[in-house]
Amino acid sequence: MTPEAPPDSFRAGLRAAMPIALGYLPAAFAFGAAATGIGLGVAEVGAMSAIVFSGANQAFLLAAIPAGMSLPLMILLTGAASLRHLLYGLVLRSRIAADRTRRAVFAIGLTDEVFATALAATANGWRPGGRWLIGLALTAWAAWTGGSLIGAAAGDALRQTSESAAAAMGFALPALFIGLMLGSVRREVAVPVALAAAIAALAVLTGHDRLAIPGGALACLSARWFR
């Protein structure tokens, strides 16, 4: 017996996004707390999360900005790291039933987790409609942005009221990096990740700190492209 397809409604998309939203909140909170540690204001943190909407890229930017990386290089590296989203769009293109405008809105929120959820929903031949897709993507986006704002406000308040808390919050950025890495490391990406770590460590040990981030990122991306 074929399972009943979910209704094409915003509310159904919102319900489908609940596991994503719950998973985003801790990482978004950590990002917000770490972002205030490099001098970003709460509004700036919210704007970054709302516009960039990428945990990996935003964590990268928190390290790249204090390191003084040039804007063109930051754009190049974050763009290269996001190329997989073009493939996500191509995979879903013939599997969803939405007009061009709703597809464009959905594309803004097409993260790894949103893609996986949307693809799983098509497993039995159902073609998600625009309202369901927007409910899915918008809920995930709101959770990430809201969690970032809460984390930024909490981190800022803690730094102003407690020196020990301010010192402890310094671990928020490394913890965010580690959490994102452990959540995405699989056998096929273990070698690129190890290569990136080795290149970055070599740059730091030889006194070329500014080359650590771009060198590690380029090494990782190159290893993935040439596999």
* Residue type for position 136: L
Give the pTM. Answer: 0.75
Whole-number pLDDT of residue 12: 93
Alpha helices in the chain (DSSP H): 10-37, 42-52, 55-64, 71-81, 84-93, 100-108, 112-121, 130-161, 163-169, 172-184, 187-205, 212-225
What pLDDT digit, counting tens, does each position of 144-154 carry?
Answer: 999 999 999 98
Whole-number pLDDT of residue 1: 41
Q: What are phi and psi of 129, to 5 degrees?
A: -90, 175
Whole-number pLDDT of residue 157: 82
What pLDDT digit, counting tens, does each position of 98-128 carry?
Answer: 899 999 999 999 998 999 999 999 988 889 9
Distance (Å, whole) CA 87 – CA 173: 29
Whole-number pLDDT of residue 137: 96
Contact 28, 146 (CB under 8 A): yes
User: On the CB side of 172, how many CA atoms lie within 13 Å of its CA?
Assistant: 28
Low-confidence stretches of the chain (pLDDT beneath 70)? 1-6, 162-190, 193, 208-214, 216-217, 219-227
Nearest alpha carbon to residue 172 among 58, 19, 21, 18: 58
Other CB atoms within 10 Å distance of the CB of residue 100: 8
Whole-number pLDDT of residue 148: 94
Residue ranges per structural domain of the chain: 10-169, 185-227
User: On the CB side of 156, how many CA atoms lie within 13 Å of its CA?
Assistant: 16
Q: What are phi and psi of 45, to 5 degrees?
A: -65, -45
Whole-number pLDDT of residue 194: 75
Whole-number pLDDT of residue 139: 96
Whole-number pLDDT of residue 181: 60
Distance (Å, whole) CA 85 – CA 93: 12
**CA end-to-end span of the chain:** 42
Whole-number pLDDT of residue 45: 94
